[in-house]
């Protein structure tokens, strides 16, 4: 297909596609003349992945890292998913005390060193803001968080498509970022309904 058709198929404007070509996020099409090239399904798939990354707030440099890992895949797919994950997570800042975050990860039975530093930092930052807000999560609640999240994530990982590395990475990026607001909204619904069930009410 021509670049205009690629644009129609994916909803990405031609100028943006040309930008991705210049930035080498999207591989060149097959040249048919000095000014024309044709594009195929791989370009459609790649464009969808780039949009998923960009819409998730990932910068061009991080997107290029993910794309680079797809074009020159590491030996194990777990590493590839780790790169995708890292791309959608904010970088770690140096000053955080990671002790409490590491202990939480150990309570799950995992080694914190097996996890990207920025993910551990994300937990540390969240724990820090809870403490500064004058709140404390009781032990029993924390254990329920760890158990509940593990259960949800096992199901998520079960559902990662094995059709291609591109599909798997796109699934991880979209599934991580797009689903977050849903989980928070469902939690608020459950909080309201469980608490009105316990304390009476129910018409609130």
Tell which one of 31, 99, 103, 137 touches its own copies (CB under 8 A).
137
Residue nearer to its own copies on the CB measure, 16 or 119: 119
Per the document, the length of the chain is 204
Nearest approach in angstroms of CB 87 to its own copies is 12
Site for its own copies in 141-200 (CB under 8 A): 141, 143-160, 171-172, 174-176, 178-200
Site for its own copies in 40-99 (CB under 8 A): 48, 51-52, 55, 74, 76-79, 81-83, 85-86, 89
For the stretch 46-71, what's the b/e string if a residue is b when 16 or more beta carbons lie within 10 angstroms of its beta carbon? bbbbbbbbbebebeeebbbbbbebbe
Nearest approach in angstroms of CB 11 to its own copies is 10
Q: Where are the alpha helices (DSSP H) in the chain?
A: 3-10, 14-22, 41-55, 60-71, 77-87, 99-107, 117-132, 139-158, 165-199
- 111 vs 4: CA distance, rounded Å: 49
Instruction: By CB under 8 A, tell whether 100 contacts its own copies.
Output: no
Tell which one of 129, 163, 166, 169 touches its own copies (CB under 8 A).
129
């Amino acid at each position: 297909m021509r670049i205009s058709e690629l644009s129609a198929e994916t909803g990405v404007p031609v100028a943006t596609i040309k930008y991705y070509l210049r930035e080498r996020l999207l591989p060149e099409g097959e040249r048919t003349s000095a000014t024309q090239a044709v594009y195929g399904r791989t370009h459609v798939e790649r464009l969808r992945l780039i949009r998923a990354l960009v819409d998730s707030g990932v910068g061009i440099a991080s997107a290029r890292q993910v794309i680079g890992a797809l074009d020159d895949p590491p030996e194990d797919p777990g590493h590839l998913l780790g790169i995708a994950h890292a791309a959608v997570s904010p970088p770690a800042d140096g000053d955080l005390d990671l002790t409490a975050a590491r202990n939480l990860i150990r309570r799950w039975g995992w080694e914190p060193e097996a996890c990207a530093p920025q993910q551990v930092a994300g937990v540390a930052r969240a724990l820090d803001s809870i403490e500064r807000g004058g709140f404390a999560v009781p032990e029993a609640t924390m254990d329920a968080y760890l158990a509940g999240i593990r259960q949800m994530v096992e199901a998520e990982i079960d559902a990662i498509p094995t059709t291609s590395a591109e599909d798997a990475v796109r699934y991880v990026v979209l599934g991580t970022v797009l689903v977050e607001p849903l989980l928070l909204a469902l939690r608020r619904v459950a909080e309201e309904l469980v608490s009105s069930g316990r304390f009476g009410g129910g018409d609130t």
